[in-house]
Structure 1
Amino acid sequence: MINMYNSDECPDMITKVYLVVEQIIQSQLETGKSIQFALELNNKLKTDYQELNNLFLARCDMSLDVIFLKQIVEKVKELLVYTEQPLSQIAKALGYEKSNDLSEQLLRYTGLTPAHFKRIREIKLENIRRQQKKI
């Protein structure tokens, strides 16, 4: 197979893919509308999804789908720690029919449950309260 990306273009394309992934996730969270990942990636980057997937498999040892799921997990962790949104609300916004599916992905990719990240939030808030009392 011929690789359409030379070694100079690969890091740039990888960065572009990650930016599109972030945009897709943010858009889903803001609108609650599901976005078809492969189609959106093709439209935004004007390149073949399978060719990009092969690039990521070769360079990152991960498929685009896995990268997308890992980025979702990172965003979910962030939302659980820094917002009061329940997992059910986050899951719905990201297009999951059941929050259990998202919970399972969180557990698969981090080894931790949603409750763990909520506990981190509680600890952070408690530390802030303690600091404010000292002032």
Structure 2
Amino acid sequence: MAILQIRNMVSRRCQLVVQAEFQVLGIRHGHISLGEVEVDKELPTDQRDRLNSALKRWGLELMDDKKAQLIENIKIAIIEMVARSSEKPKLKNSKYLCERLGQTYPRLANTFSEVTGDTIENFIITSRIEQVKELIISDELSLTEISYLLKYSSVAHLSTQFKRVTGLTPTFFKGQNRSKAH
């Protein structure tokens, strides 16, 4: 069995796209998870190239580089950590990533910064704000409830981070999205 690493495969929708492309190309596969697909054996070069071309049309790409794979695994771990933040007690981000990826935090942080030009902490903040935006758009929770759900220390802290990342206040963002819906 072999594992194919796929860049930018960070949502359930991406998994469905990948599954469909594998079916169209007639490639047998096992489990599909964020960033990875199990295959019975290494793909021949021509089949791998066709798959990569099909994936690129969707903004996805097969990865061979070990550093790129590590970065993608860090991003997926962070996205999952943020998405599940309401389910578990708060664990230090560095501890979670070390346990999840089996690497030391300095190695993870240095590799991430070297390859992306950004810090893991900034990516976590951006990912949290993306989650906030989705919750604001769904219009099911108040800002206070969102703040509590995502384990912000206060609504003010959430609002400050939101404005720093998006340039908008959460209230203005919510108003903009309401006006687009009408």
- TM-score by structure 1 length? 0.80
Tell me which residue corresponds to 2:71. 14
Query: Structure 1 residues 94, 62: CA separation in 2 closer, same or farther (over 3 Å shift)?
Result: same
Structure 1 position 20, deviation (Å): 0.7
For residue 35 of structure 1, the aligned residue among 80, 91, 109 is 91
Query: Structure 1 residues 56, 13: CA separation in 2 closer, same or farther (over 3 Å shift)?
Result: same
Amino acid at match of 2:167: G
Structure 1 position 115, deviation (Å): 0.9
Structure 1 position 18, deviation (Å): 1.1
1:32 and 1:116 map into 2 onto residues whose CA distance is 30
Tell me which residue corresponds to 2:109. 53
Structure 1 position 42, deviation (Å): 0.4
Extract unaligned runs of 5+ from structure 1.
1-6, 127-135
2:173 and 2:91 map into 1 onto residues whose CA distance is 26
Structure 1 position 32, deviation (Å): 6.3
Q: Determine which structure has greater relative contact order: mean sequence separation of CA pairs < 8 Å that are 6+ residues apart, divided by chain length.
A: 1
2:88 and 2:174 map into 1 onto residues whose CA distance is 22
The superposition leaves residues 106-135 of structure 1 with CA deviations (integer Å, 9 ceiling, x where unpaired) of 101111100122113312432xxxxxxxxx
For residue 121 of structure 2, the aligned residue among 65, 70, 73 is 65
Structure 1 position 43, deviation (Å): 0.6
State the Cα RMSD in Å: 1.7
Identity of counterpart residues, as a percentage?
A: 25
Amino acid at match of 1:43: E
Preserved contact between residue 106 and residue 114 of structure 1 (Cα < 8 Å): yes
2:150 and 2:71 map into 1 onto residues whose CA distance is 23
Establish whether residue 74 from structure 1 lines up as the match of residue 130 from structure 2. yes
The superposition leaves residues 94-116 of structure 1 with CA deviations (integer Å, 9 ceiling, x where unpaired) of 21121100100010111110012
Tell me which residue corresponds to 1:89. 145
Tell me which residue corresponds to 2:80. 23
Amino acid at match of 1:81: I
Tell me which residue corresponds to 2:56. none
1:23 and 1:36 map into 2 onto residues whose CA distance is 14
Structure 1 segments, 4+ long, off by >4 Å, are none
Query: Structure 1 residues 32, 50: CA separation in 2 closer, same or farther (over 3 Å shift)?
Result: same
2:154 and 2:165 map into 1 onto residues whose CA distance is 18
- TM-score by structure 2 length? 0.61
